[in-house]
Structure 1
Amino acid sequence: MLNGEKKIARPFRWAMVGGGRTAGVGYKHRTGALRDNTAFQLVAGAFDIDPVRGEDFGVNVGVDESRCYPDYKTMFTEEVKREDGIEAVSIATPNGTHYEITKAALEAGLHVVCEKPLFFTVAEAQEIKELAEEKGKIVGVTYGFSGNQMMLQMRAMVEQGKIGDIRIVELQYTHGFNATDKADAISEAQKWRVDPKIAGPSFVLGDLSTHTYYMSQLIMPNMKISKLLCDRQSIVGSRAPLEDNAFVLMHYENGAVGRLWTSSVDAGCMDGHRIRIVGSKASLEWWDSKPNELRYEVQGEPAQTLIRAMPYLDESCLADERLGALHQEGLSDAWANIYLKFAVAMDAKNRGDEETLKNLVYPDINAGLEGIRWIENCVRSADAGAAWVEFE
């Protein structure tokens, strides 16, 4: 169980690029990183493309005015001069800026936590992976939902053979908040998400379903895709060529089949984030609206609902427990879990502790790279007329 005691010698001096007053995701980063105040301390930031607004925001979240910078380049240049300069940075900016900021941060000697999708291409991710290895730094990716401890319970049950051989993988991440083009016109965050120059080659495949794809890989680390078919649509035509709805069929190397539906035009849907893994003996199902529960259905037996924090769960799951079974945990706790693991990974990297790094389950540079690979294959299939493609 986690109770706020320190996991590392001291918290990392931490900064943010982006994530200011008008950002949709910045608060999630801060609540995640600062939940365990033994992991990170926010000491600097380049919070906004508008430096005046960014400085005002930074001061209002407790950052010294002198360390609220107009842009990330200035911040990296100035902070490296300080004895108490930043050691890690989180990047909460539009997709098209991730590569250049991550590269600059690594070259400045910083550990990095970056929003997803990590970059536009696998080639960029490979380059950054090599740079991170050269610099001895960690690059983490904020697949925030993956910090939900029931993901580790599912992983343990798969590894222990509790559901038998995996046959079917059913994934869904949908909502209805973009069912019309209204948000595209009034929301700054939504405007860039449907601009290929900023968002990259996809909208909902990258913005939503990379979360779910990584979670499926976390649960089933030995399941590899052999080929897939992606059919994507711009239901709201003004979003073309980017999709606001997509279906992906997947064949796995072990013979299993999978299906994913992702959409931001699922009108009326508040939370369509589900994962179902079907095996030869039983099935597991998790739904984000009930994140503290895991459905376990054994063929021929009554269905069971496993509850977070109960002693019958696997030790790997219970290790991330925070509040006890009588109280509900949610997305903020999931973000706190992955940020704590980012800190443990950074500390282990600094100390050369490869054993800790090998056994730590968290969304690292490889997870980000595989998410990009999955998107690239989906786009390649869709652009070929929804054709089956070998997974490359």
Structure 2
Amino acid sequence: MQVKDISLSAIVAGFVAVLVGFASSVAIVLQAAAAAGASQDIMASWLLALGIGMALTCIGLSWYYKAPIITAWSTPGAALLATSLQGLSINEAVGVFIFTAVLGLLIGISGWFEKLTRLIPLPLASAMLAGILLQFGLNIFTSLQTQLLLVGLMCLSYLLAKRLSPRYAILWVLVTGLVTVLLQGQFNYQAVTLSLTTPVWVTPHWSLSALLGVGLPLLLVTMASQNIPGVAVLRTSGYQTPVSPLISHTALSTLLLAPWGAFSINLAAITAAICTGSEAHPDKDKRYIAGIAAGVFYLLAGLAGATVVALFAAFPREMIAALAGLALLGTIGANLAVATAEGEHREAAVVTLLVTASGVSFFGVASAFWGIVAGAVTLLIINGLRGKN
């Protein structure tokens, strides 16, 4: 890393990515821990282990590949665990995490995942990513219904900054949101307490029914709903980073930290898009700083544990929703442009976009996977018919 590559906009992008990631889904992670009967100390340990794992992979991979490699926990995976761990012990849950991590490591080492992602046309990958991010864009305007002044000022600051200082647009949005919340007295100080998290070791127990009934679905959901969109973010942003090492390293970090509560560390999609866009830095070769910054903030968040959770919860949810949506506007537009640029792929890309944005889920697998499937089927059928005519 070179000092000249460091920029305030990249650091802010990393901070916003972590802020949005924690604030949007930490409650689901805690629900998953509670489903396995975890105590408050073990819940905090889960956040510590995940924070350390995401910090090490973000910093290490971003520095090595000089690309903004953003990792995250699997939010769909956490939702799956919240409903699937009922009746299992915390020890059996850790056994599931280790089992899933070993399978993920084998998939990464074998190169199977990278071969699969190469089969997906770029317009379909872009359409899938746009479909994933679409709801975040819509949330900007639905949030206006309940927080007109707060969100309105954030939108206005975004537009003015894009005209006057586009590189720091999200920084101005963040500052505007913070100042407005503080002036309106909407920050809940009483909910914030300071404390450091202590790691808690949980000895794994192995249950065949749990490994097959929870472990395999967790692997599938993570690969389909997190890693495939995560690769799409990198590819559509112009980064040709080898995929297999990314899958291998995230799976290995999960394996090593699973006894302390790391249930799944994988490539990020939504938060990654915040760091791979031009808002992080006009020069894409210097956006890796955003990945390193995100890693540092992940580490701080993990060490603070419950304190950070309470801090994020102290802000109005509309502020977090607007911040995420505005940070992703440029990425949504860029992916829509790529998805619809080629007439040959346009209809299939639109189908991919609509299925992904619909949020449909079959067999516990999220809509991002089915969007790609629907788009690929559409492409094959339409191109096949055109070939015969």
The two structures have a TM-score, normalised by structure 1, of 0.28
More helix by share: 2
More strand by share: 1
Higher relative contact order (CA 8 A, sep 6+): 2
